[in-house]
Amino acid sequence: MGASADYKAGTDPEKDETYMAKAESIAVGEVDSLDAAEAFLREHNFSNEYLHELLEDKEKNRRLVRKIDMVVLPLLAGTYVLQYIDKQAMSYAAVFDLFTSTGISQTQYSWFASIFYFAYLGAEYPWVYLAQKTRMAKVVAGCVLSWGSVLMVTAACSNFGGLAACRFFLGVFEAPVTTCFMMMVSMWYIRSEQPFRAGIFYCCNGVGSMIGGLLSYGIGQIDTFPVWKAVFMTCGGATILWGFVLFAFLPDSIMSARNFTLEEKALLIGRAKLAQTGVLSKSIKWYQIKEAFLDPQVWLLTLFMLLNEVINGGIANFGKLIIKGLVSDPLLTTALGIPQGAFQVFWILSGTFLASKLPNSRTIVMTMYLVPTVIGTSLMWKLDREHHKIGVLFGYYIVGSFVTSLVLALQMPATNLGGYTKRITASAIVFTAYCVGNIIGPHAFLASEAPLYPTGCIVILACSVTQMAVAVGLRMLLIARNKRRDEAAAAIGEVEVTGPEEAIDRTDFEITMAKSKSAKRKRNAQADLPKKVPKAAGNLTPPPDGAALEPKHLKTIVSDEELEITLETLTSLAQYPSLTKSKACKDLRVAVYDFRQACTTGLNTAEGANLTARITGALVDEKWLEARILLAEMRIRGEQPKIGALCRWVRDLDVVSGLSTQPEALDHVPLERSAKDMELLSVLDAVLRVSTPIDTSPDAVDSTSPIAFQSIWDLRPATPPLPVYASVLDKSILAHAPKSPSAIRIIDRTPGPLRKPPNHHAAILYYHRPERRPAPPPPARPSHTTPTPPSPASSVNFLPDAPLREDGDMSILAHNFYWVVDTTFHDMLWARISPYVPPVVNGCLARGINRRFRVYRYVPGAEYRCHIDGAWPPSGILPDDTYVYDSSPEDKRQSSMYTFLLYLNDEFEGGETTFFMPAAREGTLNAYPVRPVMGSVAIFPHGESNGALLHEGTGVRKGAKYIIRTDVEYDVKPSKE
């Protein structure tokens, strides 16, 4: 009896959520990190839509669950029954001739039980780790085979040492079973289906107890062979056979399960995806570990578990010996023990049923179900054995009710504690208490006191009564916490939907703390307000300037932890749109809506807010239709967006023109586009119509498709291109590299997040010591293209270790690095280019080019999606190598008005710089591709200059494209010069 469910340390069903969640977040190009489930879905062409269809099919789901119940569950339950019987084999043997045959003492017998749990405690984690890393079912089957063999070997032992060693290894090999099975249950069943299956496991102990009893009753009939040996050999033999059954039939994973069809497997994967509703967290959070150790609830549970298992350790090993003292015949002892298993099934089923039916009754049931244990022990201890045999026996039957309290306590960390790390830490602490209790328990039963064991009975009584007190304490703690939480909630003006009573067993320390903290912060925030702000009390109309009411620091309102938890929660929930529609998420939805309003459109949504801000809000919210309506309104009003807004709108739309996929031969064949692309293009069209003049060119090719491809502007000479890329690949280009590469150095490094816009990667700026060069010759041929002399750019770019940075920004897929050129080089290039640059724009004089060059390399697949360039100040460098972002004179600031592109090679296919203008036909953009010519420069307006042009670096189809991109600088203010 007794040693019921082994504690499922670390078996939180959420443990493998990392597994499925990974499958959810697959971005193109991450093929390496695809997990097996996702790979399976892809391999068999199961689309998300189809998965959803399957998930919605109630009948299919029902049939599937029944199949798992028939195919997988019996294997798990069978193992559990055997595990129980095998663990108990020693106590069955003890009833017969174990003591007499081996000469062991009762104290030594007590040690067998303890040794088992020492091994159990030590082996649990390594096994589970191995099982997770390898094939779980095979690890389990291997362990079952091994412990079966250990039982067989036990039969061959003849002294304490041998038996103790066997006991130890039995503990080692039984250790992984419960945890692994809980993981399997969470793999095959969704959460709502799990408690019932867990119930089946717990009952297996009772079933095991009955079968074990019957079995040893049968074996006990033998009189030609030592019965205790026969017990071990029978149990061992059956277990070994079962081990083979597991090897053959227990699936390692959903994907490798043989009895399930492809469709069933897809449905299983879908269900697993849906079941992972918890907060995903792979990282260990130290504050949660600390919190687990400081949380009285964890320690109360630990104490409860310890006491419970002390009882278990005693009853499981000595219960039968107590009956043995009652009747003299070992066979009768065994037979009389059998109903105890049935009682155990009754206790567990009734207790868990009550706890699930009566709201917030868990701690009450935990307390009540200790009463039969107290009564039963008292009966066994105090009743006169001669005259009240039945009463003693009845005491023995009912004593097992404490197991129900264990089953309920086991579920508490998972339901009551917030935070994954906190939960597994708490589980580990409680699991240790479980083992320690079982190690201590048997030692309360002193050999000298057999068969009454008064000390053992007193210990059991003491433990049960203390447990009751602990359960009451636990309940009080939870009630107090809920009360605190609700007060905190009320203080921050929340509407509490559940009363404190209803929430008793759902307490979450973190949430409570968060709420009371946030109430406190709310008070702080009030205190943080500028003194002159009038008190809000009694003032129903908010002050006109809402911003004045805002506290200055984020931390006044929320802590870093809260931000982190919120982020994780929202990220996890975002993966399951259908779940976010559930009733439980209602408040969250309202809060998120308000939050979005505040972030994106916020005050701007108010009546009369400016159009630009409303359009920005609509675009961020992906309300495409609304954005188009607002843009149309802007057009009617004749308003123009600010360049910053315009750049951001276009950048956020992140439109892929698709032109790179369209070889010239198919120039005018409309591309097939997805509905989403069409939508984005229609918004882009609307954006351009408020910012860029309509293209009225009579030569423009008309088209009904959203992008009308115009003829390529091709000035490439007919001569074969210089094989620049080839010389990079074979390194022959290095012949042109500077003789002293050490002259190139990094002068600045901007971390990715600080870049504007932020980037996944840092920006690294290189500088090259100036070299004396003769003054440049005057331009040879006046043309819109200007061949440049072999520039130091090529030397820097093509250095063997030239750090080409991969830019993680969504739309810039070219590799690039930054290079601040020296003034000599700048002056030379400026002298070459300035004759072709508008010398004055809006009265502002042209001053030079930005010395901060960006060098790009596009390989096939890389493109720079549709965008409008922003303006940059001229960067420079101080004599001590300090990088200066804006080096223009303070009293005569400069900013760029033209983009400057220098094509460094041209032996590639595709890779045009394509410009877009709104066509006469509404909904169509004319695309003008310019074919790069090596050594030539393209300049076009950007920033605040009139006519900032939408353009893209169209994808390269073959080869590699190298360019330098910088800006042409102008005075910010018009001058009278």
According to CB under 6 A, which one of 965, 968, 969, 970 is a site residue for ligand AKG?
A: 965
Angle value at C-alpha 411, between 405 and 417, nearest 5 degrees: 125
- Output 174 or 869, the one with its CB closest to Fe ion: 869
Residue 928: helix, strand or coil by DSSP? Answer: strand
- Output 169 or 856, the one with its CB closest to Fe ion: 856
Count of CB atoms situated within 10 Å of the CB of 948: 24
User: For residue 899, is it left (φ>0), alpha (ψ between -120 and 50) or beta?
Assistant: beta
Binding partner at 505 among ligand AKG, Fe ion, none, C-beta below 5 to 8 Å by kind? none
Binding partner at 271 among ligand AKG, Fe ion, none, C-beta below 5 to 8 Å by kind? none
* Residues in binding contact with Fe ion, number by CB under 5 A: 1
309 is a site residue for Fe ion (CB under 5 A): no
The residue count of the chain comes to 977
Residue 422 and residue 415 in contact, taking contact as beta carbons nearer than 8 Å: no
Q: Which residues have CB under 8 Å from 970's CB, separation 6+?
A: 841, 844, 845, 846, 847, 894, 895, 896, 897, 945
Residue 964 and residue 904 in contact, taking contact as beta carbons nearer than 8 Å: yes
d(CA 148, CA 976) in angstroms, rounded, equals: 99
| Interactions with Fe ion, residue window 947-966 (CB under 5 A) | none
Report strand pairing: 763-768 vs 815-820. parallel
Would you say the C-alpha torsion 676, 681, 682, 683 has a positive or negative sign? positive
Binding partner at 691 among ligand AKG, Fe ion, none, C-beta below 5 to 8 Å by kind? none
- Output 288 or 899, the one with its CB closest to ligand AKG: 899
953 is a site residue for ligand AKG (CB under 6 A): yes
- Output 124 or 869, the one with its CB closest to Fe ion: 869
Which residue bears the tokens 């009617």? 636
d(CA 148, CA 209) in angstroms, rounded, equals: 18
Binding partner at 94 among ligand AKG, Fe ion, none, C-beta below 5 to 8 Å by kind? none
- Output 302 or 750, the one with its CB closest to ligand AKG: 750
912 is a site residue for Fe ion (CB under 5 A): no
Binding partner at 963 among ligand AKG, Fe ion, none, C-beta below 5 to 8 Å by kind? ligand AKG
CB of 872 to ligand AKG, least distance (A): 11
CB of 957 to ligand AKG, least distance (A): 14
Residue 271 and residue 56 in contact, taking contact as beta carbons nearer than 8 Å: no
CB of 899 to Fe ion, least distance (A): 5
963 is a site residue for ligand AKG (CB under 6 A): yes
Structure-block tokens of residue 935: 């050594």
864 is a site residue for ligand AKG (CB under 6 A): yes
- Output 4 or 954, the one with its CB closest to ligand AKG: 954
- Does an H or E element contain 147, and which? helix 136-155
Count of CB atoms situated within 10 Å of the CB of 444: 22
For the chain, how far is it from start to end, CA to CA, in angstroms? Answer: 102
**Residue closest to ligand AKG (Cβ):** 953
- Does an H or E element contain 242, and which? helix 227-249
- Output 757 or 843, the one with its CB closest to ligand AKG: 757
d(CA 544, CA 567) in angstroms, rounded, equals: 32
**Residue closest to Fe ion (Cβ):** 869
The contact pattern for Fe ion, residues 818-857, with x = CB under 5 A and - = no contact, is ----------------------------------------
- Output 228 or 649, the one with its CB closest to ligand AKG: 649
Binding partner at 119 among Fe ion, ligand AKG, none, C-beta below 5 to 8 Å by kind? none
CB of 942 to Fe ion, least distance (A): 7
Ramachandran angles phi, psi of 315, nearest 5°: -60, -40
Which residue bears the tokens 């433990």? 463
Q: Where are the alpha helices (DSSP H) in 492-575?
A: 509-528, 560-574
Structure-block tokens of residue 539: 């003032």
951 is a site residue for ligand AKG (CB under 6 A): yes
According to CB under 6 A, which one of 309, 869, 906, 944 is a site residue for ligand AKG?
A: 869
| Interactions with ligand AKG, residue window 881-940 (CB under 6 A) | 899, 901, 913
d(CA 430, CA 417) in angstroms, rounded, equals: 13
Residue 242 and residue 146 in contact, taking contact as beta carbons nearer than 8 Å: no
Binding partner at 788 among ligand AKG, Fe ion, none, C-beta below 5 to 8 Å by kind? none
| Interactions with Fe ion, residue window 36-95 (CB under 5 A) | none
- Output 512 or 899, the one with its CB closest to ligand AKG: 899
The verdict on whether omega for the bond into residue 544 sits within 30 degrees of 0, i.e. cis, is no
- Output 149 or 913, the one with its CB closest to ligand AKG: 913
Give the Å distances, CA to CA, from 181 to 59, 67, 177, 368.
26, 17, 6, 29
| Interactions with Fe ion, residue window 865-904 (CB under 5 A) | 869
- The span of 51-59, 345-353, 490-498, 864-872 binding Fe ion (CB under 5 A) equals 864-872
* Residues in binding contact with ligand AKG, number by CB under 6 A: 9
- Output 307 or 659, the one with its CB closest to ligand AKG: 659
CB of 863 to ligand AKG, least distance (A): 8
- Output 38 or 869, the one with its CB closest to Fe ion: 869
Residue 443: helix, strand or coil by DSSP? Answer: helix
Residues that bind ligand AKG (CB under 6 A): 864, 869, 899, 901, 913, 951, 953, 963, 965
Positions that interact with Fe ion (CB under 5 A) = 869
